[in-house]
């Protein structure tokens, strides 16, 4: 299948455009499933707290560190494996693992059980993006790569929106039945049943992954110097250390994006505690908003990045990311402080556009300044850093501010403070970030 408007003939050495886009679509579906399984917990916070007797801090640990421990730390070894082994098999095994672990979350009886299940979800989901980005980069030439990467990245909003609507439907249905009884499991609460509903279908998707053909690995430019010629983990660490003045400022943009995005796992409690909305109502409105704005914004960012790159704008994807960062900071501070839930939801819609712009172009910008012989590991390191930042700082910052500063009912102030706390320093460094990025980009271009 071709992307809308994509009529270019297949490039020599690459898979056919139709098959390459089929692979992208299937990988995107897997990414959507991963976000559904990741985000579903945030929509079930209040019933889980009530049934298991958990505090906001414990919920914050489940939303963030429990998932991050292995999702982030497994990224580098899996990136190393993606540069060497059959990537389609790695993804298939990962989808099966995280789907089974999500379903197992419905069997949890205490905090420890749920913590272990979330850790297992993180291990499985860590397999996907390093392999997916490596496969996409080997299936499209550089000048046509931004759109498939953006298409894949739109799973962030698609997955979060789908999770909202699925959980809303399950919770609404559960209110109409006296009890939910499952074979071999017995009577379960609605939140437990929701985990089964979203987790088990992923096992069928895992089977489809094993049917994909492995894309041929594309030769890249020679590395900038002999020290970058290898692609083992020590080689990667030496490369990043030598270029830390480029990578660290660059990563701050995308770390802030994930911190803000993952902090919105507290969205349902915000609307429930501040404006009295039920979780199901929030899930329906938020899910509809995400699906309406997120995918369109992501694909627009990919289209714009390709268009600007073709016009010779060297830092096109980074410019888009910095514009999205400004949108995130302003809308993120304002949204929780607005006087009505509908005004707040509208401003969160603007925030969704900002998050989508940044998430769409991160890997495209990164690939433009990275040696081809270690792409899988560099992308894995990128996801490790932004995931650790987002998962450790986003939900946990809100939880700690709730428990120790503003109180549970002051959650709106916790959520308004976070984007200012983490986003304003990034905007202050934007000039430095662009200068360092352009230097690295021109160095890579000089090798071609």
The yes-or-no verdict on residue 221 having pLDDT over 60 is no
37 in a domain, yes or no? Answer: yes
Q: Give the CA distances from residue 307 to residues 140, 146, 283, 313, 314, in Å, rounded to whole numbers and listed in that order.
A: 16, 10, 35, 9, 11
Question: 46: domain CATH number?
Answer: 1.20.1250.20
Q: Which residues pair with 181 in a beta bridge?
A: 187
**Dihedrals phi, psi of 181, to nearest 5 degrees:** -115, 130
Q: Is residue 288 part of a domain?
A: yes
How far is the CA of 266 from the CAs of 225, 398, 413, in angstroms?
Answer: 46, 8, 12
- Residue 12 in any domain: the answer is no
> What are the tens digits of pLDDT across the range 114-153?
999 988 888 888 888 778 878 887 888 766 777 888 788 7
Name the band, by pLDDT with cuts 50, 70 and 90, for residue 222: very low
Total of domains in the chain? 1
Name the DSSP letter for residue 177: S
CA distances from 197 to 40, 58, 203 (A): 11, 24, 12
Q: Is residue 4 part of a domain?
A: no
Confidence check: pLDDT of 323 > 90: yes
Distance CA 29, CA 205 (A): 9
- Answer yes or no: is 3 within a domain: no
Q: What is the pLDDT of residue 156?
A: 73
- 425: domain range? 17-209+228-446
Count of Cβ atoms closer than 10 Å to residue 32 Cβ:
22
Residue 388 confidence (pLDDT) above 50: yes
Each residue of 54-84: pLDDT tens digit?
888 888 888 778 877 777 777 667 767 777 7
What pLDDT digit, counting tens, does each position of 405-440 carry?
Answer: 888 889 999 999 999 999 999 999 999 999 999 988
| Close Cβ partners of 417 (under 8 Å, ≥ 6 residues apart) | 401
């Amino acid at each position: 299948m071709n992307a809308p408007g994509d009529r270019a003939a297949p490039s020599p050495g690459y898979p056919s455009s139709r098959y390459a886009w089929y692979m992208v679509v299937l990988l995107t579906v897997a990414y959507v499933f991963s976000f559904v399984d990741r985000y579903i917990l945030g929509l079930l916070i209040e019933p889980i707290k009530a049934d298991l007797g958990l505090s906001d801090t414990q919920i914050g640990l489940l939303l963030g560190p429990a998932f991050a421990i292995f999702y982030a730390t497994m990224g580098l070894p899996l990136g190393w494996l993606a540069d060497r082994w059959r990537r389609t098999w790695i993804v298939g095994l990962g989808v099966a693992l995280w789907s089974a672990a999500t379903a197992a979350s419905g069997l949890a009886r205490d905090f420890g059980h749920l913590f272990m299940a979330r850790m297992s979800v993180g291990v499985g989901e860590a397999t996907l993006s390093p392999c997916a980005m490596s496969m996409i980069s080997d299936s499209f030439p550089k000048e046509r790569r931004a759109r498939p990467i953006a298409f894949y990245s739109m799973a962030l909003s698609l997955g979060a929106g789908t999770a909202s609507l699925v959980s809303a439907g399950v919770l609404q249905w559960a209110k109409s039945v006296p009890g939910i009884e499952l074979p071999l499991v017995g009577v379960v609460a609605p939140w437990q049943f929701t985990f089964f509903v979203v987790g088990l279908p992923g096992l069928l998707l895992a089977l489809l992954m094993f049917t994909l053909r492995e894309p041929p690995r594309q030769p890249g430019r020679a590395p900038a110097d002999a020290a970058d010629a290898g692609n083992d983990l020590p080689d990667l660490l030496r490369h990043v250390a030598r270029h830390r003045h480029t990578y660290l400022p660059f990563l701050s943009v995308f770390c802030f994006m994930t911190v803000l995005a993952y902090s919105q796992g507290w969205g349902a409690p915000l609307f429930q505690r501040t404006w009295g909305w039920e979780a199901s109502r929030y899930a329906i409105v938020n899910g509809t908003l995400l699906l309406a704005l997120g995918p369109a914004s992501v694909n627009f960012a990919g289209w714009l990045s390709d268009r600007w790159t073709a016009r010779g704008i060297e830092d096109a994807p980074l410019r888009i990311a910095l514009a999205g960062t400004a949108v995130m900071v302003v809308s993120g501070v304002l949204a929780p402080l607005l006087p009505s839930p509908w005004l707040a939801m509208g401003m969160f819609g603007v925030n969704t556009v900002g998050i989508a712009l940044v998430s769409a172009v991160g890997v495209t910008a990164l690939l433009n300044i990275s040696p081809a012989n270690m792409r899988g590991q560099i992308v894995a390191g990128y996801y490790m850093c932004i995931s650790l930042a987002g998962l450790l700082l986003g939900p946990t910052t809100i939880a700690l501010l709730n428990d120790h500063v503003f109180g549970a009912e002051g959650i709106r102030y916790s959520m308004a403070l976070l984007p200012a706390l983490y986003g304003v320093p990034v905007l202050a460094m934007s000039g430095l970030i662009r200068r360092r990025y352009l230097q690295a980009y021109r160095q890579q271009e000089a090798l071609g």
